[in-house]
Amino acid sequence: MERKRALAVSAALLILLSAMSAGAQARLEVNLDWPLVIGWTSESTYLGNDTVDVSQFRLLVPDFRAYYQFGDGLLTGGIGVRVPTLIIVSLIYPEGFVEVNLKPFSLEATLGGFLFGAFGLGVGTFSAQPLLLSDLSASVELASWFRLGGGVYLIMPTDSTFSKNFAYIGYIGGRFIFMPK
């Protein structure tokens, strides 16, 4: 049943993207993020609330995004997919974004999740999950194709059983943006 639902949602997204593509511009991003802190808050007495400093690990996390972008100038937005990867295992999920450009600074908010694919070493799955993923970031544009900044990545369950639990990752990083014509 979940597989049929996932296929139906995927087909609906493809139809929607095809219909909207006439007024949109493709936007491809390659991000290299360096997590500095990982934290969580939980109702569980076992997990509790905690923060872990991971900056000493010097682990760059690649993140690929492909969007249909709408608007240009002060306010832009778009829909597409995001692929965060740890090289041996990657995740793919639908995402939307809104960006405010105050040249050379920009603020971006993304929201995605609910439908996930995982692929990599020994993994190949596609399923619906009650998770909402959000990324709030600020950056400075150093070139038309490169930004440097930081943000907070939030992972929130939408299941009412765990509604007061969430995790966050604070990061800094670089973003390469390609806008093919």
pLDDT (tens digit per residue) in 21-34: 555 699 999 999 99
Regions of the chain where pLDDT drops below 70: 1-24, 43-50, 160-163
The predicted pLDDT at position 95 comes to 96
CA 65 from chain center: how many Å?
A: 8
The pTM of the full predicted model, rounded to 2 decimals, is 0.78
Segment 155-158 long-range contacts (CB within 8 Å, at least 24 positions apart): 155/131, 156/131, 156/132, 157/130, 157/131, 157/132, 158/114, 158/130, 158/131, 158/132
The CATH number that domain 2-178 falls under is: 2.40.160.20
| pLDDT for res 8 | 52
Q: What is the CA radius of gyration of the chain?
A: 17
pLDDT confidence of residue 73: 83
CB 103 within 8 A of CB 132: no
pLDDT score recorded for residue 5: 57
What's residue 2's pLDDT? 56
* Beta bridge partner(s), residue 159: none
Task: Sketch the domain layout of the chain as residue ranges.
Answer: 2-178
For residues 58 and 36, what is the distance between their CA atoms, to the nearest angstrom? Answer: 9
